[in-house]
Amino acid sequence: MSKSASSFTHFAFMPLNNFTMLAFSNAIEVLRMANYLEGKNLYRWSVVSPEGGAVMASNGLSVTTVRADQCAAADVVFVCGGTDTAAAIKPATLDVLQHLAQQGIALGSLCTGAFALAKAGLLDGYTCATHWENLSALKSAYPAITFAPDLFVVDRDRITCTGGIAPLDMMLNLISSQIGKTTIAAIADQFILEHVRDHKDQQRVPLTVRMTSARPAMVEVVSLMEANIEEPLSLDELAQLSSSSPRQLQRMFKEHMGMSPTHYYLTLRLRKARELLRQTDMSILSITVACGFQSACHFSKTYREIFSVAPSTERRQQTSVPAALLAAPMQQQAAAFV
């Protein structure tokens, strides 16, 4: 049985050929900085591969790895993906991952590393996160996996994360219950990080990518919504500005978003409110107005329905993920990728 994610101390990383150095280094730097600030080696990390030796990153630099079977057992092994991931996944990679799973070692992925876990059959029945650019291909190829729009997902013994700087946020959340919020804040300060995102945050996907299968009218409507948060447009106004009818918009949003245009618009406004609560000193009343709500009472009620906490609690809340949550499957938001 794998350990709870909140008690990990030995992290291993398995970079695939052409892996993304940014995601890989961000994850490790959190551990290094935690050790530095605490003045002791709380965490250690290993870089492994099926055969050992140098593995090239997509930026032309390389890292030295040890053979996975010669490395001391880690609490978790993250597969680090990048470009041309399908070609980088060798039979030996799948064999190693399946062996690790049989040993009860937790498995994870950074960036496109989820491809390897999926191909090895180790994500079936799990919810996972992956970089938005590869989402459609994975969803089509692996219907037994639930894909979430979140920055990272902790689902039992699988920890999956999107790319870029998201691994930094994920690692800060994973170790927060061990080192406390003061040290987490100190690490964030060292990295000039204004805000530590958590499991409720979603990766930003370019509108043109989100709407690849949608009609031009719908793309225009979503653009109008995003541009009119403080003074929301009515459904009739959106229909008129996009040369559509309210009924057409209802049908298009149901088909492409799985929800009504009104609910999608509300979700956009609440996500903006959450961003302002966590990243600014604006008063709750000012945020209420900035996000198009007529009263603080209505704002608080709808915010609690989506995020399960009141706006005032959100502002006071610690940046860490509770240990109990890390040890159990995470409940995903209703919103999903198109």
- Residues 265-299 as b or e (16 or more Cβ within 10 Å = b): bbbbbbbbbbebbbeeeeebeebbbbbbbeebeeb
Q: For residue 278, what are its two tokens?
A: 């966590």
Kindly give the confidence (pLDDT) of every residue in the chain, 338 residues in length, as a single tens digit, with 9 standing for 90 and above: 456 777 899 999 999 999 999 999 999 999 999 999 999 999 999 999 999 999 999 999 999 999 998 887 899 999 999 988 888 999 999 999 999 999 999 999 999 999 999 999 999 999 998 877 776 667 778 889 988 878 889 999 999 998 888 899 899 999 988 888 889 889 888 887 766 666 565 555 554 444 444 567 777 888 888 889 999 999 999 999 988 899 999 988 888 777 899 998 998 899 888 878 876 778 999 999 999 998 999 999 999 988 888 998 888 763 333 333 333 333 333 333 22
User: What does DSSP assign to residue 57?
Assistant: B
Please give the pLDDT value at position 219. 78
Closest by CA to 289, choosing from 223, 241, 215, 230, is 230
Which residues are within 8 A (CB) of 169 and not within 5 positions of it... i.e. 6 or more apart?
151, 152, 196, 197, 198, 201
Identify the helix (H) or strand (E) that includes residue 66: strand 62-67
Q: What is the pLDDT of residue 21?
A: 95
Q: What is the DSSP letter of 212?
A: T
Tell me the one-letter amino acid at 204.
R
**Residue pointed to by tokens 């970079």:** 15
CA distance 280 to 282: 6
Contact 320, 179 (CB under 8 A): no
pLDDT the model gives residue 147: 85
Q: Which helix (H) or strand (E) holds 288?
A: helix 284-290
With 0-12 CB in 10 A as exposed, 13-18 as middle and 19+ as buried, what is 247? Answer: exposed
- Token pair, residue 236, equals 């009739």
Does this model's pTM top 0.85? no
Whether residue 199 contacts residue 324, with contact meaning beta carbons closer than 8 Å, is answered with no
Q: Within 13 Å and on the Cβ side, how many CA atoms surround 105?
A: 23
Please tell me the total number of residues recorded for the chain in this structure: 338
Residue-level pLDDT at 316: 72
CA–CA gap between residue 129 and residue 154 (Å, rounded): 9
Give pLDDT, residue 63: 96
Query: Which helix (H) or strand (E) segment is 146 a member of?
Result: strand 146-147
Q: What is the pLDDT of residue 204?
A: 58
What's 322's DSSP letter? P
CA count, 13 A, side-chain hemisphere, 318: 15
Residues 121, 127, 133, 138: is their CA dihedral positive or negative?
positive
Q: What residues are paired with 67 via a beta bridge?
A: 49
